[in-house]
Structure formats: C-alpha cells, structure tokens
Amino acid sequence: MVLSISSTCTLEEVAACCNAVRFFQLCVYKRRDITAKLVQRAENNGYKAIVLTGDSPRHGRREADIKNKIIIQELKNVEGLLSTKIVTDKGSNLDALANQTRDPSFTWEDIGWLKSITKLPILIKGVLTHEDALKALEVGAAGIIVSNHGGRQLDYCPPTISVLEEVVHAVGGKVPVFLDGGVRRGTDIFKAMALGAQAVLVGRPVLYGLAAKGENGVRRVLEMLKEELELTMALSGCSNVKEITRSHVRTKHDWQLLSLL
C-alpha cells in the first residue's frame, strides 16, 4: 500500500493497524523541515520506501473540484505542523492549499537532499518519457512509477500503458518499473506485465469498492483483479507471472510494423 501524504489517517495509525508492506507518498513542501519530519516518521514507523510525486510542481486544473468548490478534510499527517485551513471563494480549497504549501522549485538536483535525510529507497512517480527515466536513474532513484496522475494534472498527457515500454527500455532492468493508471481489470495487469512492468498500482477501483461496500468492497475489488489476472494467464498459457512475456501482446506500433511486411 502507498499511503497518501493527504490521508485522513496518520501514517502512525495506518502502521499500527496492519503488517502489510507500506510505502509513503510524498509531496515536498516549501518548508523542508516539515518534509523531513514526515520522511522520518515514515522511516520510524516501518514504511519500506518513499514514493516521491514528481509531476506536481503546480496543482492541475481540476475543473470538477473548482465547480463544486471542494473542501477537503483536515490532513492528519501535517496536523500541528502546517495550517491547512485555507478559505477561498474562487473554487477548490485543495487547489489553493496545494499551490500555497508545496514547493514548485523542487528539481532533480534536490533529490540528493531527500536521499540525505533517509535510508529508505526513493521511487519517483510521474515518469512518462525515456528522458525522464534516464534522469531518474542518474539521480539515484530506486524505482520508477510510470504515472500520469490519473489524468488529473495535465490534459492530453498520454495513457501510461502507451509509454510504459519506452520507460522500460530506457531503464534497462537497472531498477523496478511499475505502472499506475487505468488498471480496471486483470487483463490490464497482464498487459502491463507483458510490456515490462514489475507490478501495477490500483487507485480508483479501490475507492469505488470502499464507497460501495466499505472494507469488504475493497477486498472484493482486489479479489476480482486477482481472479481476472489468473484467468487471463491460464487462457494465455502462463502458469506463473514469469511466463508473461512481450510476445503475449500487440501494440499499435506492432501492427504498424506488421502492415509494412
């Protein structure tokens, strides 16, 4: 599980409730001391990695949130560290909060500072290009998450499945590559793994399950994905995940090449 920095439960509460493998998702604040405290709390509470969100120098224009004037709940992880009571009559207070508190000046070079304050491996989330994948390796990322932030940050950005292979080729097996975004069925997991992802991240389906049937709904969503993946593997002749290979999928690029033969 990757726990959001914006969670309505503290990272300590989540750590105390289960023994699952947990990562902590981090956005860097203008006040670096607050960022450092959050990273240290994650390390002290048994989180296994820091997931640095790298595609949010500014908050994306989320028009539905602005129209509905969304008001977020108190962010428990920064309670007592950072005031989140921002009132705005211009739309979403989430937009105002993000743009007033997060550090838009954070660059590739600053990842060295982040590595200096923790022993935890750092995964960079939000990579969509060959160039950024190489840069992530250069600054010492322990893993890469191919993600377009659920399509909420930049309009017209590519679907993650369409750029996954580009990133995988750039990385060349040096660090794990994960896929985030658009995973709705077990067949989506199968395709991602065939194109080189070591694992996928699932966000919205879990929230759908939670909204529908609470904890049991979340459990059922994960069971459905597992069952669908196993069925896809069986019908594709794969007895384990290591047998899922590039030969099991055809991309648009493949069809274009075949048409030239």
Catalytic residue numbers, as ranges? 149
Q: Which long-range contacts (CB under 8 A, 24 or more apart) does 237-241 make?
A: 241/193
* DSSP codes joined into one string, 220-239: HHHHHHHHHHHHHHHHTT-S
Cα-based distances in Å from 148 to 21, 160, 242:
24, 6, 27
Number of neighbours of residue 106 by Cβ within 10 angstroms: 21
Measured between alpha carbons, how far is 238 from 259 in angstroms, rounded to an integer?
Answer: 28
How far is Cα 215 from Cα 36, in angstroms, rounded to an integer?
32
Q: How far apart are CA 72 and CA 77, in angstroms?
A: 14
Count of CB atoms situated within 10 Å of the CB of 33: 9
Measured CA to CA, the distance from residue 126 to residue 59 in angstroms comes to 13
